[in-house]
């Protein structure tokens, strides 16, 4: 019996020892588990808590203490005795929370807003459940709290954006894998659907015709994927199959979705197309008008060129009777007046067609004013009108603006003053304003006023004064002009950046004032003008220049021959561009005068051909044109012409161009009146008795013999032997020879004979 008891005691002891070992192991495991959970509890980013049924905190982790604005869990438990008191912003929301947990025993994701210890408002999401004993009695609550303030802010932003999307006038959509996951009402309406669900989950290609989808696949989508965005126009299709033009923007979101913004621009496109059509029609009308102007210019100027040119030739003819010379002068003045009228009409037409441009250059303003003063002084000297020009000292002498347009404006205004003033005065005043009037390239405003004591203009007529083809009562009474001068002047002033105004009183006079924008010019650049001198021949010791004249009008060719042949030029004439090319190849002229309008081949084609050849690239070709259009000048120069001469031309302009492009030297005298006086004058630069110091006695004797026999060729040969530095001596002898004044030469050389 004792043995059995001993054995049982031993077994019991072993069982106790084994149990103790198991308890120790379980204790270690529990300690490790507690440590692990304690670590999670302490380091969790979410708040963790346990509360008594009455709301007092049992334990909280650091995250919750920090979330609620406390320094530590102990600080929170000590100061926030009851979770229900003062923590929640909306107590009704807290009551809802308690209702749910008492009813269901747990709350998941309950969102509310709390006010922290520091007064900051924080949005939280709570997950809470109750813990009961084995009999179901409530022991405590435990749960987690997450700070969702940032999420709520993001949601608020998204909500505002969504609201903006919803009320936006543009269609807005979001697509995943090219399928709609969001569309706003405007997008639904744009494509002709009734509600959002009608478009959701549908593919993008359902809303575009096949050719547009092909364009998307080949061009748009690759750009969107590579660059992250695309913007352009597309043809879209409504639910009923109708098409419209949309302005489409696609953007690639960070998550790979596509954001689409679109709007219907069909009406705008129609308006653009209409404007483009109107612009094209206007340009076409302008081109037609330009062509009409070119044709009219050519048709009017071509016959006028003959009238004007031959009247100049008659004026040079010393054999004319005084009566015939008077007739020639009348023709010359009438053709000049007619040219002015034609130019006025063409200028106004060019202005209306938008073909007038500003061409600025540096010129002498004082010289321009002197020229205009001299022009009108002769007209008023024989009247009871005093003409005065005054220029303030601040006005720069050299300016940069459009000299030709400024000249025309001043001539129009001063001309009107002279025309309508029979007695009294005409005052022309010029002033300038600017910060630095003495520094080149500085901006300057030039102010001009033309005041007269003439007949004046009625107030009722002032409003229509600048209208084209409208003349005042005084103008109609004089029956002069076209009524375009003031209209053109006003347009020119506006083109130069200024304004033209008028003040007038009937019976007392009129004052026109205008200002223009300009720049101070450089003093070393001088404006050139055509010389008033008349060409009487070629200077000696020059080659014989060959000039080819290409013009289909016989009168035009004859005029050029009459002007150039007596001077010693060798000439040939052709009537079309094809013959001009042939003569250029066979005759090798030094210069070609090329009319631009000719049959078979015009001057443009002929010039291009000649200039394209290596041996023709350097030959000067001067265009003869009756066009007054600036754009045709550009075409002429682009064809290869070196310069333009506009019909009708002054002979001085022709000779000036020949000087420039041939380097030819002419012999001049100043005017026909001076030529007559020189021809009758017995004086030469050297007295007859001093001739021997310049030329030999044999030369003087030979000149006397040539004059006695009337051999003008021999006289010219002898003149060519005079030393070139005796310029005036050569010029006057040449004048006498050209006038066949042999008796005069005989008298001047009789001392030697």
Q: pLDDT for 353-386, tens place per residue?
A: 666 778 788 888 988 898 888 778 867 877 889 9
391 within a domain of the structure (yes/no): yes
**What pLDDT score does 588 carry?**
95
Residue 284: pLDDT over 50 = yes
Query: Where do the DSSP E strands lie in 188-329?
Result: 229-237, 243-252, 258-264
Q: Is 672 helix (H, G, I), strand (E, B) or coil?
A: helix
Q: Is 490 helix (H, G, I), strand (E, B) or coil?
A: helix
386 within a domain of the structure (yes/no): yes
> Each residue of 484-528: pLDDT tens digit?
778 889 999 999 999 999 999 888 999 999 999 999 988 643 334
> Each residue of 452-495: pLDDT tens digit?
999 888 887 777 787 765 555 554 444 454 457 788 899 999 99
CATH number of the domain encompassing residue 655: 3.40.50.2300
d(CA 480, CA 714): 52
**What pLDDT score does 340 carry?**
67
**Residue 50 shares a structural domain with residue 72:** yes
> Each residue of 529-579: pLDDT tens digit?
344 467 888 888 889 999 999 999 888 899 899 999 999 999 999 999 999
Which range has highest mean pLDDT (37-51, 244-258, 281-295)? 244-258
Task: Write the burial class of residue 247 (CB in 10 Å: 0-12 exposed, 13-18 middle, 19+ buried).
Answer: middle
**Residue 539 shares a structural domain with residue 610:** yes
**Residue 503 shares a structural domain with residue 361:** yes
d(CA 297, CA 669): 33
**What pLDDT score does 731 carry?**
72
**Residue 386 shares a structural domain with residue 472:** yes
d(CA 345, CA 343): 5
- Asked if 379 and 344 touch (Cβ cutoff 8 Å), the reply is no
Share of the chain above pLDDT 70, in %: 82
Residue 184: which domain range?
A: 168-264
218 within a domain of the structure (yes/no): yes
> Each residue of 331-352: pLDDT tens digit?
776 677 677 667 766 766 667 6
C-alpha to C-alpha distances, 216 to 125, 256, 263, nearest whole angstrom: 45, 17, 17
288 within a domain of the structure (yes/no): no
Secondary structure in 3-state letters for 193-232? CCCHHHCCCCEHHHHCCHHHHHHHHHHHHHHHHHHCEEEE
**Residue 661 shares a structural domain with residue 677:** no
> Each residue of 601-649: pLDDT tens digit?
999 999 999 999 999 999 999 998 876 555 577 889 999 999 998 887 8
Q: Which of 153, 176, 193 is the last residue of a domain?
A: 153
**Residue 74 shares a structural domain with residue 190:** no
Greater confidence, 96 or 522? 96
**Residue 512 shares a structural domain with residue 550:** no
464 within a domain of the structure (yes/no): yes
What is the pTM (predicted TM-score) of this model? Answer: 0.41
544 within a domain of the structure (yes/no): yes
Residue listed under structure tokens 């309508």: 420
Average pLDDT score over residue span 76-99 = 79
> Each residue of 658-681: pLDDT tens digit?
999 998 988 876 444 343 333 333
Helices (H) and strands (E) in the chain, counts: 25, 24
Q: Which of 643, 665, 687 is the last residue of a domain?
A: 665
Mean pLDDT of the chain: 82
Average pLDDT score over residue span 119-129 = 93
346 within a domain of the structure (yes/no): no
> Each residue of 154-200: pLDDT tens digit?
888 877 877 777 778 888 999 999 999 999 999 999 999 988 888 89
**Residue 20 shares a structural domain with residue 51:** no
334 within a domain of the structure (yes/no): no
CATH number of the domain encompassing residue 94: 3.30.450.20
**What pLDDT score does 129 carry?**
93
Residue listed under structure tokens 């302008």: 286
Q: Which of 489, 520, 551 is the last residue of a domain?
A: 520
Q: For 317-364, where are the alpha helices, taking DSSP H only?
A: 322-352
Which of 226-230, 236-240, 275-279, 490-494 bottoms out in mean pLDDT, i.e. has the lowest? 275-279
Task: Tell me how many domains the chain contains.
Answer: 6
- The answer to whether the Cα torsion of 514, 518, 520, 526 is positive or negative is negative
**What pLDDT score does 716 carry?**
77
**Residue 514 shares a structural domain with residue 464:** yes
Residue listed under structure tokens 């009871």: 384
Residue listed under structure tokens 């003033």: 421
**Residue 361 shares a structural domain with residue 469:** yes
- Asked if 592 and 615 touch (Cβ cutoff 8 Å), the reply is no
**Residue 607 shares a structural domain with residue 639:** yes
Residue 104: pLDDT over 70 = yes
**Residue 445 shares a structural domain with residue 368:** yes
d(CA 475, CA 483): 8
Average pLDDT score over residue span 27-43 = 70
Residue 326: pLDDT over 80 = no
């Amino acid at each position: 019996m004792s043995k059995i008891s001993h054995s049982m005691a031993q077994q019991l002891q072993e069982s106790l020892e084994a149990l103790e070992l198991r308890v120790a192991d379980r204790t270690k495991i529990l300690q490790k588990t507690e440590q692990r959970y304690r670590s999670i509890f302490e380091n969790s980013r979410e708040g963790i808590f346990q509360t008594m049924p009455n709301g007092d905190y049992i334990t909280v982790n650091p995250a919750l203490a920090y979330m609620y604005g406390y320094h530590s869990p102990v600080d929170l438990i000590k100061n926030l005795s009851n979770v229900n008191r003062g923590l929640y912003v909306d107590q009704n929301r807290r009551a809802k929370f308690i209702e749910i947990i008492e009813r269901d025993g747990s709350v998941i994701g309950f969102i509310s807003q709390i006010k922290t210890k520091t007064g900051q408002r924080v949005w939280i999401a709570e997950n809470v459940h109750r813990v009961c004993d084995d009999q179901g009695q409530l022991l405590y609550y435990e749960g987690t709290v997450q700070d969702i303030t940032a999420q709520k802010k993001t949601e608020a932003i998204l909500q505002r954006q969504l609201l903006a999307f919803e009320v936006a006038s543009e269609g807005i959509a979001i697509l995943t894998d090219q399928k709609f996951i969001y569309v706003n009402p405007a997008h639904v309406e744009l494509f002709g659907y009734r509600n959002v669900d009608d478009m959701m989950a549908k593919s993008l290609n359902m809303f575009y015709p096949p050719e547009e989808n092909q364009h998307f696949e080949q061009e748009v989508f690759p750009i969107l994927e590579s660059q992250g965005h695309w913007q352009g126009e597309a043809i879209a299709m409504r639910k009923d199959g109708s098409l419209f033009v949309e302005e489409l923007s696609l953007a690639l979101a960070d998550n790979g979705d596509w954001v689409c913004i679109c709007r219907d621009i069909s009406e705008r496109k129609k308006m653009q197309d209409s404007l483009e059509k109107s612009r094209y029609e206007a340009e076409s009308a302008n081109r037609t008008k330009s062509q009409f102007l070119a044709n009219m210019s050519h048709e009017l100027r071509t016959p006028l060129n003959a009238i004007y040119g031959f009247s100049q030739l008659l004026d040079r003819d010393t054999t004319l009777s005084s009566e015939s010379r008077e007739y020639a002068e009348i023709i010359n003045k009438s053709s000049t007046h007619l040219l002015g009228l034609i130019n006025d009409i063409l200028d106004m037409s060019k202005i209306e067609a938008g073909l007038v441009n500003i061409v600025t250059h540096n010129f002498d303003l004082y010289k321009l004013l002197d020229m205009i003063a001299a022009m009108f002084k002769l007209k008023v000297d024989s009247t009871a009108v005093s003409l005065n020009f005054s220029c303030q000292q601040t006005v720069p002498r050299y300016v940069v603006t459009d000299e030709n347009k400024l000249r025309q404006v001043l001539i129009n205004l001063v001309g009107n003053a002279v025309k309508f003033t029979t007695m009294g005065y005409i005052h022309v005043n010029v002033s300038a304003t600017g910060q630095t009037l003495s520094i080149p390239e500085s901006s300057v405003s030039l102010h001009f006023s033309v005041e007269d004591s003439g007949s004046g203009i009625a107030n009722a007529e002032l409003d229509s004064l600048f209208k084209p083809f409208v003349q005042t009562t005084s103008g109609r009474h004089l029956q002069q002009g076209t009524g375009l001068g003031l209209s053109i002047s006003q347009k020119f002033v506006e083109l130069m950046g200024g304004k033209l105004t008028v003040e007038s009183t009937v019976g007392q006079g009129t004052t026109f004032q205008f200002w223009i924008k300009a720049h101070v010019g450089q003093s070393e650049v001088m404006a050139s003008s055509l010389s008033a001198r008349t060409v009487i021949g070629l200077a000696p010791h020059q080659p014989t220049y060959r000039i080819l004249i290409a013009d289909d009008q016989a009168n035009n060719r004859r005029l050029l021959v009459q002007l150039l042949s007596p001077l010693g030029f060798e000439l040939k004439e052709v009537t079309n561009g094809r013959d001009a090319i042939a003569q250029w190849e066979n005759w090798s002229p030094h210069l070609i005068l090329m009319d631009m309008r000719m049959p078979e081949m015009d001057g443009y084609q002929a010039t291009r051909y000649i200039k394209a050849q290596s041996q023709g690239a350097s030959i000067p070709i001067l265009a003869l044109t009756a066009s007054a259009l600036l754009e045709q000048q550009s075409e002429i120069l682009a064809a290869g012409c070196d310069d333009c001469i506009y019909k009708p031309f002054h002979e001085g302009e022709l000779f000036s161009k020949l000087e420039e492009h041939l380097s030819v030297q002419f012999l001049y005298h100043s005017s026909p009146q001076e030529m007559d006086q020189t021809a009758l004058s017995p004086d030469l630069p050297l007295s007859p008795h001093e001739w021997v110091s310049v030329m030999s006695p044999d030369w003087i004797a030979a000149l006397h013999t040539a004059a006695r026999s009337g051999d003008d060729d021999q006289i010219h040969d002898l003149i060519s032997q005079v030393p070139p530095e005796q310029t005036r001596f050569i010029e006057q002898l040449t004048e006498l020879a050209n006038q066949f004044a042999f008796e005069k030469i005989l008298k001047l050389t009789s001392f030697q004979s």
